Homo-oligomer: A and B are copies of this chain.
Amino acid sequence: MVKILIVDDENDILDFLSYNLKKEGFEVYTANNGKKGLELASEIRPQLIVLDIMMPELNGIEVCRQLKAKPELSNTIIAFLTARNEDLSQINALDVGGDDFISKPVKPQVFISRIKALLRRNKGEPGADQMQIIIADLEIDRQRFQVKRGDEVIDLPKKEFELLWLLASKPGKVFTREEIYNKIWGNDVIVGDRTIDVHIRKLREKLTNDHIKTLKGIGYKFDF
């Protein structure tokens, strides 16, 4: 169930938007001031927050800033509500981390479709997990399953890529063989003793630079 939080100081607006969103099957929460909004957001962790810019005391921009500062909410989508002729010249809301502007008054249909579009847009990439590691002379791109050194593109098969990704994700840290097994093969698969060595070798061949160091009796690490 998709949770949506609406923060606005006018109860009429809250009711109106809330009613329409609920009709579409969303789980809707409301707050009629910025402070309550912040509290409620942390508590219920909605996917999307509709935030009125103009509110007494804590305005929408400030609420947004504080929301984005909380790690658990940093990926939450934020849609600002603005009066049609509000002066936005001072505010760069996209800078603050807002994802969309919706101007009041708004027709239910339009409102719903904007909300759905926003949810759809952010669905693709959880964004939570990092997609790229840039380290030493390498650019490791999880989205393309590809490693670049300067202009040279190095395609890696799955296991090799996963192994490199693991090691490079914590440069300097030593991964024991057991750790590597658990993270890359999982508990179900059982493979022989020389499997990791071979993958390490292939990686070293392809990367030419010798960033992968062996610590005999301990494990491997990515060093630079």
Interface string of A122-158 (1 = CB under 8 A from B): 0011001100000000010001110000000001011
CA distance A113 to B93 in the complex (A): 11
CA distance A218 to B216 in the complex (A): 32
- Which residue in B125, B129, B139, B144 is a CB contact (below 8 Å) of A174? B144
Question: Are B94 and A120 within 8 A (Cβ)?
Answer: yes
A206 touches B (CB below 8 Å): no
Q: How far is the CB of A179 from chain B (nearest CB, A)?
A: 9
CA distance A216 to B159 in the complex (A): 11
- Which residue in B92, B117, B158 is a CB contact (below 8 Å) of A94? B117
Chain A interfacial residues counted at CB < 8 A: 32
Question: Are B95 and A216 within 8 A (Cβ)?
Answer: no
Interface string of A23-57 (1 = CB under 8 A from B): 00000000000000000000000000000000000
A116 touches B (CB below 8 Å): yes
Residue of B nearest to A112 (CB): B95
How many copies of this chain does the complex contain? 2
Question: Are B216 and A157 within 8 A (Cβ)?
Answer: yes
Q: How far is the CB of A157 from chain B (nearest CB, A)?
A: 6
CA distance A116 to B144 in the complex (A): 24
Interface string of A191-224 (1 = CB under 8 A from B): 0000000000000000000000001111001000
Give chain A interface residues in 47-96, CB to chain B under 8 Å.
92, 94-95
A3 touches B (CB below 8 Å): no
CA distance A128 to B121 in the complex (A): 7
16 contacts between A and B (CB under 8 A): A92-B113, A92-B114, A94-B121, A95-B113, A95-B116, A117-B128, A120-B128, A143-B170, A143-B174, A144-B221, A145-B174, A145-B215, A155-B215, A158-B215, A158-B217, A158-B218
Name A residues whose Cβ lies closer than 8 Å to a Cβ of B.
Answer: 1, 92, 94-95, 99, 113-114, 116-117, 120-121, 124-125, 128-129, 139, 143-145, 155, 157-158, 161, 170, 172-174, 215-218, 221
